[in-house]
Structure 1
Amino acid sequence: MRGTALAVTLLLLVSLLPLAAAQEVKGPAAERVIFRGLGSQDIAEQEIRAGNIDLFFYNLKSEAARALRARGDLTLIEVPSSTVSIVLNPAPAPAGELNPFSIREVRYAMQYVIDREAVATRFYGGLAMPMYTHVSPTDLDYLTVRDVIVSRNIRYDPEYAKEIVSNAMRKVGAELRDGVWHYNGRPVTVRVIIRPEDERREIGLAFASELRRLGFNVEEILLEFGPAIQRVYSTDPRAFAWHAYTEGWARGGIERYDSTGINQFCAPWLGNMPGWREVGFWQYENPELDTLGQRIFRGEFRDLAERNELYRRMTALCLDESVRVWVVTVINAFPASKSVRNLITDLVAGVRSPFSLREAYVEGRDTLRVGHLWVDTERTTWNPVGGFGDVYSVDIWRYVVDPGLARDPVSGKTIPFRSSFSVETAGPTGSLQVPADAVIWDASTGSWRRVSPGTTARSKVTFDMSLYIGKPWHHGRPITWADVLYPIYQAFEISYNPDKNRIETAIAVTSRPYLETVKGIRIVGDRYLEVYVDYWHFEQDKIAEYAAIGFPSMPWEVLAAMDELVFARRRAAYSDTSAMRFNVPWLNLVKELHGRMLVEVLRDFSERGFVPRGVFELDGRSIVTPEEAKSRYEAAIRWFSERRHLVISNGPFVLERFDGAAQTAELRAFRDQAYPFSKGSFSGLARRVELPTASAGRLQVVIGSASSLSVRVTGPEGVTADAFLYDRSTGTTVKAVRDVRVTGGLLTVELTPQETSALRRGLLTLEVVLRDEQNLGVVRPFAFSVEVLPAGAQTAVTTATPTTQTTTPTVTGEAPQGAFTQTALLVALVAVAVIAVVSVALLRSRRKR
């Protein structure tokens, strides 16, 4: 592949470029967007009907969603956009005490005390799918790990769990007295933190009940979002403020060939496992998971087959460890008024797409009113280095900032947004010479130094920055190369400057594995940024996504003031754990008090004529003059004096007003004529997409006879199917048929007399997974019961009944069907964030909700 280049100029992306000069309206379709926190899901529908909001950015509860679907008078967008897990605290207890979840066997036993199908059907009314690993049944990687899941035969079996727990507890010296485990004469107690706002209340209470049946003393602690997040993720696991917590995760979009989720939910190195990589906290450690995870993350494989094998090995080990026990993928229902036009949705994230509100509007009105559960909470923090960790901040921020790259909302492929790109790679085994004039930040000297002679990289990505450079920030100053350099400098400086990484340790240690692969950058002319990385992937757009290191989200002067406040003046912290450790505020740019502290720094910078030393010096000259720096400082100060916050970015909307106490945020359209996008620039993404479906009549096989199982497949041409006939009671696969191109709308699984002779009377399950990997970023799982009849029996003759075809809900003015219909679900149920430069898409695939 050496020397090959991928010039990403796909026809699809024509719709993403600024339209001709005839389109005069710069920015988004709506003039204003008002976000309002309702404080409850239960009033969302009535607020829409009353005309107080136009759409709701948080999912309805399942009962309300079913009722609304039956009425059909509002648009209902249904997508598998959230997941639920139970995280367990594996820290060892102090001497003389016992934390049962420090024992791996006890954690693994928890897999068998959760009745996932009951959760999906009873608690969610069919609007959920059982989930056994971090991989959702709709993810492309489901087929990668399916055999790992099935071979474990994970099921609801509390007696089996009790056997595992009893053996493990007795082995460490615990005794069962009157049905309660005791250690050193005291009851073994576990604290379960339960979220009461949604169905996780029922999940948590059911889990606590199962723990009692196993013999544990249980404290049920119901806490809403802010207090729960604080108690679990900001405390040392050894403090045992919690033993188990009902987590909820909002999915950021379609994930093709996942490299982030498996690390986020399994590997300690990324900072999302108990201990959270914070200095002084006890840490869950697992070097094998870290090694496997970093190989996947950094593209250290030769081909798809090796990548998949690494992924399977890591998933199996993650299941063995069971620090997280997965429960369900939830089909979230987002309601909207039928008056909303041009709402672009994602097959997984739904309305949580960076495209959703750019073209949306209500006929006859210039304001779009969006409801959410909350706009601000105790844990909602707006800062691009160690904040933006919850859905409430990010769901607004994504319309204030323009990303360099995005993912297509249907295929999930990485596409240019504000930067086109080309890729040259010598991977997986070759190398490219990094040019001698490429540079890298050297924290030890505080300067950009040229790369060492002979430096090589596996891939080079060239980003066209012309839609950034010279275009305006919201405060009116033009974006320059200084805005590109500063976040790159900031990432390396925090990670490798010992004084700074002692303060923001969690950010530093989780960023280094990525930064180690960045071998150099080079500015070419006034338009191009070259990034050299030791990374390879068989899909070259993934290489571009990995190398997306220089896309500015905030002006450099704001980042510099933040650095001064955090590292020099020690009056704030980027991360929550550092804020707690040093007893300073967690820096939040929407808080007026924090803005005032930053303005104080900016005024000082302006008075001193300060220019960050070394940061802007390339080839012996500075690309920022003191006069230019002063104009930047003054522009940021003016911004704060007018709005009382310091959220300044470059996207379609300006954050005009933020009132956390009132649970409101107001966005105003950015209409600067130099802004590169106009109304209609993204309308090509509001397209209807036909999803494949499967249906079947009565399925039967006869022992000792040749049998055929026929499934009707409807949908677009070119669908590929995988079919698995297996025994759910044992996890044994009877027959697997893979990579079948469906023709004529019929999928047939043939069994020979020899294969049926080995069967027993009873029921089997036929799981059919439909996919179209080139066009769709999700798979469609369906499951059907198969009767096994005795030898000589006659099979019934039935005709497959087609299911309703489904479409993505992207056409407004109608009540489009959800991406995953109730029918499909029921048959399936039978069976710039971690750090400014490391992109959100890379390191935060899901956010807390």
Structure 2
Amino acid sequence: MSNASIKIRYQYQGEKKMKFKQLYPILSLLVALSLALAACAPQQAAPTDEAPSAETQEPSSAMTEEPAMTEEPAAMPKTDRHGGWLDEIDVSVVAGDSAISQLQAGAIDLYSYGLASDVYPAIKEAGLQYSQSYGGSYSIMFNPAVFEDASRLNPFSNRKIREAMNWLVDRDYLNQEIYAGGSLAKFFAITTQLVEYTDLIDTVRALESKYAYNPEKAKEAISAEMTAMGAELGADGKWQYNGAPVTLIFLIRPDGDGTRKPMGDYIANQLESIGFTVDRQYKTSSEAAPIWRGSKASEGLWNMYTGGWLPSGLTRDERSQIQQMYLNTSVQAVDPFISNVSDPEFQKLGDDLAQGNFSTPEERRSMMERALELSLQDSLQVFLIEQVQYSPFNDNVAVTYDLASGVEGAYVGPYNLRFKDQEGGVLKVGTTDLFTEPWNTVSGSNWVWDSNIMRSTTMGTGNITGTAGLMGDPYTGLAWPQRIESAELTYRKGLPIKQNLDWLTVEAVDQIDVPEDAWVDWDATEQRFITAAEKFPEGTTANIKSVVTYPADLFETVRWHDGSPVSVGDFVMSMIMGFDPAKPESATYDESLVPGLEAVLASFKGYRIVSTDPLTIEAYNDAYNADAELNILPLWPLSPFGLSGENSWQIFAISNLAEANQELAYTSNKADTLEVEQTSWVGGPSLEILSKYLDQAAGESYIPYEPTLGQYISKEEADLRYSNFKKWFDEHGHFWVGTGPYYLDRVFTTEKSLVLKQNADFVDLADRWAAFSEPKLASVLLDGPGQLKVGEEAVFDASVFFKDEPYSQSDIQGVKYILYDATGAVVQIGDASFMSEGQYQVTLGADVTSKLPTGSARLEVAVVPLPVAVPAFTSLDFVAVP
């Protein structure tokens, strides 16, 4: 399909930027494949300098400042208001460079998209409030495919050339020149300076040193590989292949926070300096995405893209990031991922980590260490910058944000957004884009700005692992019950699982047997679930068992925005949709969804509906999380593929009819193949097609997958659903229906704006999550000698604070130190000693200082608090003398 034809299908939408497109194929929800990524568009995380050196302004310090959310937590009195605090939220696209002026002019009340750290001084000068968070990350994404046109050479089909790109890029230069030193250099898919990174500090620091900026090494490695691939360096210093210049098509994003353009230009300059011809194509998200994500990689429409990634929330366990961000088994299930051919060892490590195929913390750590090393050798993308971002808002607005993903990545954010000391009102929000991709919950938009709106319309938007019925904690990454009555977790003895909160019961047992009647797979021909007895005639076991009991009044109190009560059929339909489209026998079969399902089935062991009154569901899995709370696996009519948004059974019914008749397709891959529209539930040509099939389904009292759903959906329910759905469409002009605190009232895809309104029938009071008002971020100061003698003891003092008060020891998990020599090599890692509240001490014995060569050295301290999952870092440079 031509580039032009690709663009036509996206005309009515907005730009397209991939939010850390975290397509967790259905059961990925269940299997707790964490994260995610995506985001401000595909977005994600980063470390300090390659060779640790003291910068004048440590980005890590920025994250320890107390965010100027409000002078003090904006507590709201108890309320009898249901749904959202606001009457209406008007959202529109506002360029980042005009956000501050529009806030000052009163045109908007909040700019929800995170601005880069270089804008921070202007926000302060304007007197605006702001949230501060790790704002995701930027990378250079490569096309790994061998092009169908044999006359063209794609250098990035060679892993060694991709690896060498790490040496060609000076991440510290990018941080200083573009982000005013306020962000972090990033080398890995895991988030720099968060929990996972801190735990692996010795490994990551060593790898950062190994892959530090070294352009001569990059040039040598790339030249050797280019020659081996048949290219020649011409007399003009330019690479040639088959008599033509080796031209790299580089998609550079000039939009968003504006930082990708200078970043892309710098990368292009570096490549041109070693002989490549670079075709710089500046494209917005909506212009670029149909090319780098919407085309077949082997078509060769692009070579490089300035990627951006945002995690879907604060992630405590990032092991699935290896699979997600590099491998062809990535739950993103689109090119360029599916075209990447990785080293077999790396492939197995990434898949095993995602599926939890390890037995001890030590084994997991060893696997992560090796996977990080191999990830740099693979480098499907070269990570560049871990951002600290700021979302500004006016002083009369109260905002809850996620420490890892900001305002737009906070699951609880829409629930708490309000004006201070006021109920109701119309709040105006600006963001960087809207409707970047079609909205559907199988393979639609997962860009952070779109996802933020979707979450406003959903119940229990899920925790960081993608499960529903829970609410993600924006400060710790744990989860709280949202629409479940009780939960029980049983796990196999010996697994490294710990309980943090008391809302669930936890038990360790010798063995967990999967019941014979558990649903473990799907027969698309007979349209029924395959039981454990059928698939595992000898029986099978699981590592974890989750039992969730829902409120007894669930089906009376929770209603879709069109007025229909939620039913068991909605739950079962979501389960079916996680399987059926990836089965060749299905009328909606889509081969691009197969790898994701296969990855999930490797660890998924089944669901079992124990009771429908009250609804009680068991889930069995081999994949597990270290935190007990994140192993609770409620089923909910949320996206079966880990996207944001809910789905009633009838929206799937009419969408499936359209897809079965090849008039629409959920995924961009299948839409390309069939040359049809990608399904959108909110705009474009899809609406007329869906309306036609709604009329057809209503006329037939159609029950989809009737051999199974006929047990849960009556003809009367079907008639009511279709009738209410048609009334909704006639009134609102779209098919986006959820159960959350706000409903999507009006959509303007061309103008890129929308209106959300309060759902007064929402089951919970508006203050349900008001406790999330301010994170208890730690700040740390380090004091010690500027010079020490090699072979003599040296003492350093660390002071830990929150709002100028000593941070209580009971709220600190630990204070770790790392000693580096002049080369950036790690000399010693240890724990600081507690002295008194907020005071810790690092003592470097004579045996340790004797290992230091003469010259500069550096001591770094990391504080790991319990109330928040964001460590505080600081460092001190000194000189070692003989």
Equivalent residue runs for 1:64-463 within 5 Å: 64-71=119-126, 73-93=127-147, 95=150, 97-152=152-207, 153=209, 154-176=211-233, 177-197=235-255, 198-270=258-330, 272=332, 275-276=335-336, 282-341=339-398, 343-352=399-408, 353-362=410-419, 366-376=425-435, 379-403=436-460, 404-419=469-484, 420-426=486-492, 430-440=510-520, 441-452=522-533, 454-463=539-548
> What is the CA RMSD across the aligned residues, in angstroms?
2.5
SS at match of 1:268: coil
Matched residue pairs, number?
Answer: 752
Residue of structure 2 equivalent to 1:488: 575
Structure 1 residue 167: deviation in Å?
Answer: 3.1
Closer, same or farther: CA 113–22 of 1 in aligned 2, 3 Å: closer
Encode CA deviations 1:159-193: one digit per residue, 9 max, x unaligned. 22222223333444443333222334433222221
SS at match of 2:632: helix
Letter in 2 for 1:224: T
Encode CA deviations 1:489-542: one digit per residue, 9 max, x unaligned. 1112122343457x4222232123214413232232412122222333432222
After TM superposition, the score normalised by the length of structure 1 is 0.84
Task: Note if contact 1:595-1:640 (Cα within 8 Å) is conserved in structure 2.
Answer: no
SS at match of 1:412: coil
Residue of structure 2 equivalent to 1:508: 594
Cα distance between partner residues in 2 of 1:388 and 1:684: 30
Structure 1 residue 208: deviation in Å?
Answer: 0.7
Task: Note if contact 1:456-1:519 (Cα within 8 Å) is conserved in structure 2.
Answer: no
Cα distance between partner residues in 2 of 1:468 and 1:664: 33
Closer, same or farther: CA 375–90 of 1 in aligned 2, 3 Å: closer
Task: Note if contact 2:607-2:617 (Cα within 8 Å) is conserved in structure 1.
Answer: no
Task: Note if contact 2:820-2:828 (Cα within 8 Å) is conserved in structure 1.
Answer: yes
Equivalent residue runs for 1:583-662 within 5 Å: 583-591=675-683, 593-614=685-706, 616-617=708-709, 622-662=711-751
Structure 1 residue 285: deviation in Å?
Answer: 4.1
Encode CA deviations 1:336-365: one digit per residue, 9 max, x unaligned. 000113x22221122121211323222566
Cα distance between partner residues in 1 of 2:230 and 2:688: 57
Cα distance between partner residues in 2 of 1:765 and 1:186: 49
SS at match of 2:476: coil
Encode CA deviations 1:675-711: one digit per residue, 9 max, x unaligned. 3211211111224424242333553222343333333
Letter in 2 for 1:416: P
**Structure 2: runs of 5+ lacking an equivalent:** 1-76, 461-468, 496-509, 640-645
Structure 1 residue 384: deviation in Å?
Answer: 0.8
Closer, same or farther: CA 266–593 of 1 in aligned 2, 3 Å: closer
Cα distance between partner residues in 2 of 1:449 and 1:417: 30
Closer, same or farther: CA 682–554 of 1 in aligned 2, 3 Å: same
Cα distance between partner residues in 1 of 2:343 and 2:734: 42
Task: Note if contact 1:271-1:277 (Cα within 8 Å) is conserved in structure 2.
Answer: no
Structure 1 residue 273: deviation in Å?
Answer: 8.2
Structure 1 residue 631: deviation in Å?
Answer: 1.2
Residue of structure 2 equivalent to 1:24: 80
> Is residue 539 of structure 1 aligned with residue 539 of structure 2?
no
428-437 vs 572-581, which deviates more? 428-437
Task: Note if contact 2:238-2:276 (Cα within 8 Å) is conserved in structure 1.
Answer: yes
Task: Note if contact 2:834-2:841 (Cα within 8 Å) is conserved in structure 1.
Answer: no
Equivalent residue runs for 1:669-748 within 5 Å: 669-672=758-761, 675-696=762-783, 699-715=786-802, 716-718=807-809, 719=812, 720-727=814-821, 729=823, 731-738=824-831, 743-748=836-841
Q: 2:874 aligns with which of 777, 782, 803?
A: 782
Structure 1 residue 743: deviation in Å?
Answer: 4.4
Closer, same or farther: CA 714–764 of 1 in aligned 2, 3 Å: same
After TM superposition, the score normalised by the length of structure 2 is 0.81
Structure 1 residue 75: deviation in Å?
Answer: 0.3
Structure 1 residue 587: deviation in Å?
Answer: 0.6
Cα distance between partner residues in 2 of 1:698 and 1:443: 70
Cα distance between partner residues in 1 of 2:82 and 2:383: 44
Cα distance between partner residues in 1 of 2:770 and 2:636: 28
Cα distance between partner residues in 2 of 1:742 and 1:87: 47
Structure 1 residue 412: deviation in Å?
Answer: 0.9
Residue of structure 1 equivalent to 2:565: 478
Cα distance between partner residues in 2 of 1:194 and 1:307: 37
Cα distance between partner residues in 1 of 2:847 and 2:697: 82
Structure 1 residue 216: deviation in Å?
Answer: 1.5
Structure 1 residue 389: deviation in Å?
Answer: 2.0
Structure 1 residue 59: deviation in Å?
Answer: 2.2
Cα distance between partner residues in 2 of 1:187 and 1:754: 57
Equivalent residue runs for 1:50-61 within 5 Å: 50-61=105-116
Letter in 1 for 2:240: H
**Structure 1: runs of 5+ lacking an equivalent:** 1-20, 792-849
472-481 vs 82-91, which deviates more? 82-91
Closer, same or farther: CA 250–743 of 1 in aligned 2, 3 Å: same
Closer, same or farther: CA 519–361 of 1 in aligned 2, 3 Å: closer
Identity of aligned residues (%): 24
Cα distance between partner residues in 2 of 1:695 and 1:290: 41
Task: Note if contact 1:42-1:61 (Cα within 8 Å) is conserved in structure 2.
Answer: no
Structure 1 residue 259: deviation in Å?
Answer: 3.4
Structure 1 residue 485: deviation in Å?
Answer: 0.5
Structure 1 residue 97: deviation in Å?
Answer: 4.5
Task: Note if contact 1:700-1:787 (Cα within 8 Å) is conserved in structure 2.
Answer: yes
Cα distance between partner residues in 2 of 1:588 and 1:89: 27
187-196 vs 56-65, which deviates more? 56-65
Task: Note if contact 2:116-2:388 (Cα within 8 Å) is conserved in structure 1.
Answer: no
Structure 1 residue 286: deviation in Å?
Answer: 4.1
Cα distance between partner residues in 1 of 2:610 and 2:691: 31
Task: Note if contact 1:344-1:359 (Cα within 8 Å) is conserved in structure 2.
Answer: yes
